[in-house]
Amino acid sequence: MDSPARRNETYFAFIEAANLLQALMEEQTKRDGGISYLQFVLLARLAGAPDGRMRMTDLADSTVHSRSGLSYQGRLLEDAGLIERVPSTDDERSVTAVITETGHATLERVLPGHVEVVEQGMFSVLDDSQLDALSDGLTAVRDRLRTLVPSAAQRRKKRA
């Protein structure tokens, strides 16, 4: 039954579940790697990118993070030796983030605990049909939101 009350209940359950899961992941990434959950996500994105590198603007878009916030996180990661920031070979105005060997090692140290937190906090309580429905629903929502949320470059142009 589709009703405003059911939609409201679903929305707030989603928000609370996401916040609770993120709190568990934040604790785990700090404990296992000395990094924040956002820093873990950034390292994971870089590790999955071709040659372990990505333009900072693209990294901001892929994590739905502001360019200024990403610059700050990039500086912290660079100071820790987990990434390097180098001029882009494609665009002289852009900066490219590159994951280092230390970054890879940190990611490898954090990843098993991360997988365990996600398994225990999320997937262990879902049966196959619930997982299918959740996957389909969240994919549709993510795809829709990607069309509504401006990219980092679009946000920058809007401010100029």
Token duo for residue 54: 């990505």
| Residue 82: CA count within 13 A, CB half-sphere | 26
Distance CA 9, CA 15 (A): 10
The whole-number pLDDT of residue 69 equals: 82
> Which domain covers residue 79, as residue numbers?
4-159
Pairwise pLDDT comparison (154 vs 99), residue with the higher score: 99
Residue 143 pLDDT > 60: yes
pTM score of the predicted model: 0.85
Distance CA 35, CA 13 (A): 28
* Per-residue CA distances from 109 to 30, 132, 136, 154 (Å): 11, 30, 31, 36
pLDDT digits (tens, 9 = 90+) for 34-68: 999 999 999 999 999 999 999 998 898 888 777 77
Tell me if 72 sits within 8 A of 111, measured CB to CB: no
If one counts the domains in the chain, the total is 1
Q: Residue 82: which pLDDT band, with cuts at 50, 70 and 90?
A: very high
Q: What's 146's domain CATH number?
A: 1.10.10.10
- The percentage of the chain sitting over the pLDDT mark of 90, rounded to a whole number, equals 74
Residue 115 pLDDT > 60: yes
The whole-number pLDDT of residue 21 equals: 96
pLDDT digits (tens, 9 = 90+) for 84-102: 999 988 777 889 999 999 9
Helix axis angle for 67-79 and 152-159, nearest 10°, is 120
Distance CA 21, CA 90 (A): 37
